Structure 1
Amino acid sequence: MRVLIVDDEPLARTRLAALLGECEEVSVAGSVADGEAALAAIGELQPDLLLLDINMPGLDGTALATRLAAQARPLVVFCTAYENHALAAFEVGAVDYLLKPVRLERLREALQRVRQRLHAAPAEPVGYLHGRLRGEQVRIALTEVVCLLAEEKYVVVRHAGGELLIEESLRQLEEAYPTQLVRLHRNCLVPAPRLLGLKNLPDGRVLARLAGTDFSPEVSRRNLPAVRKRLRSG
């Protein structure tokens, strides 16, 4: 199980990482200090679980969990010093609610609940795109894709390791992976987990903020309502 720690207190992150080191079949995928950084890390690291603080600057834990509630993964376990947020935490689908300082045995109980939830829920199949690179057939998982751009007769796949040309059209890809890809423009699709938010420019254009890249493709007026709806629903 891959765990992402999200807490604005460095000592709390360090302690949780140490406790996770005492737990079986668990690895720390990463550690970040706020909700916005967590969204970016989720797109890149694909964790199974967030150990999530509630009171954080900017995007707090409850707001982040609300955005993630529609996704099968990652699941959320809240880690907080306050008891009064428990009801709200479970209303947004948290698996468990741990009070700080977190005890090892209590953490193990929460991790066992997470394992049961993960095993009970069917995982969305990983999609793969196929193309040729220097004469060899290669495939790229959708989880590694940053964006898909239509250029003349081909689609350019931008991914963590570079670029790949494929022959499928954006429409074909959109129909094949309707829940995994989001259309930003007639010439651009992005994997849903990469979509972090929107940036409004003074000239009226709207750009998409994507996890794992500085590239910000434009969102067309036609697709903007659907993109905003997707962001609100997580």
Structure 2
Amino acid sequence: MRVLIVDDEPLARMRLAALLGECEGAELAGSVGDGEAALAALGELQPDLLLLDINMPGLDGMTLAARLAGRVRPQVVFCTAYENHALHAFELEAVDYLLKPVRLERLREALQRARKRLAEAPRAATVWLHARVRDEQVRVALDEVVCLLAEEKYVCVRHAGGELLIDESLRQLEEAYPEQLIRLHRNCLVPPARLIGLKNLSDGRVLARLAGTDFSPEVSRRNLPALRKLLRMG
């Protein structure tokens, strides 16, 4: 089972990594310091489980868990110094809630619960977008997509590994994957999990902040209320 540690304290990340090394069947997929970095790493690292702190700058653990609720992967185990968030954690379908300092025995119990949940849940089929590069047919998983931009007759797919051009229109993609894509503008779609915030400019324009990229596409006034609601709901 691949595990991603998400904690803003370097010493806490090191300790969890050391404990994972003593847990059979657990593989450290990576270690990051905040929720935004975790979102950006999901497509590339494909973790089965997050060991997730709650109080972090920027995108905190509860907000990140709310974004991931309902997905088979990754599952979430909270690792925190605070007892008062436990009820909310389980409402967000967390596997377990571990208090710091995390004990090895409790970590092993949490990993076993995560394995059981993963084994019992059907794995969602990967959605692929297909493109042609020169004479070669290539594909990219929708989970790895950062955004989709309309460019003349094609759609540019910005993803973790670069860019591709595909023939489908934004409208076709939006209709095909209504749960996996949201519209920012008439020329832009993004996966909901990539949206981490909105930035208001002095000229009245609003830009979207996306996990995994410095690119900030503009948000249309028509779509702004729905995006604000999505962010409020986590």
Q: TM-score, normalised by structure 1?
A: 0.89
What RMSD in Å do the two structures reach over aligned CA positions?
2.1
Distance in 2 separating the partners of 1:46 and 1:60: 20
Show CA shifts across 1:108-142 (max 9, x none).
11011112222333333211111110121111111
d(CA) in 2 for partners of 1:10 and 1:96?
22
Alignment of 1:126-145 (within 5 A): 126-145=126-145
The equivalences for 1:68-147 within 5 A come to 68-147=68-147
- Cα contact 1:200–1:207 (8 A) shared by 2: yes
Whole-angstrom CA distance in 2 between matches of 1:30 and 1:165: 30
Which consecutive unaligned segments of at least 5 residues does structure 1 have?
Answer: none
- 2: CA distance between counterparts of 1:33 and 1:117? 26
Q: In the TM superposition, what is the alpha-carbon distance from 1:217 to its structure 2 partner?
A: 0.7
Per-residue CA shift, 1:19-50, capped at 9, x if unaligned? 11222332222222233433333455343222
Counterpart code for 1:148? L
Asked whether 1:8 is paired with 2:4, we answer: no
Q: What is the CA deviation profile of residues 181-229 of structure 1, one whole-angstrom value per residue up to 9, with x for unaligned ones? A: 1111111111223222211111111111112211111111111122223
- Note the alpha carbon deviations across 1:61-102, whole angstroms, 9 max, x for none: 334333433544332211123334323322332211112222
- State the SS of the aligned residue for 1:199: strand
TM-score, normalised on structure 2?
A: 0.89
1:228 is aligned with what amino acid? R
Report if the CA contact (8 A) 2:128-2:139 is conserved: yes
Gaps of 5+ in 2: none
Q: Indicate conservation of the 8 Å contact 1:43/1:211, yes or no.
A: no
- Matched-pair contact (CA < 8 Å) for 1:39–1:196: no
- Number of aligned pairs? 234
Q: How does 1:23-42 map to 2 (within 5 A)?
A: 23-42=23-42
Query: Is residue 86–residue 97 contact of structure 1 (8 Å, CA) maintained in 2?
Result: yes
- 2:146 and 2:212 in contact (8 A); partners too: yes
Aligned-residue identity in percent: 82
> Is the alpha carbon distance of 1:179 and 1:75 closer, same or farther for their aligned partners in structure 2, counting shifts above 3 Å?
same
What one-letter code is carried by the residue in structure 1 that aligns with 2:227? Answer: V
Flag the 1:5–1:226 CA change in 2: closer, same or farther, 3 A: same
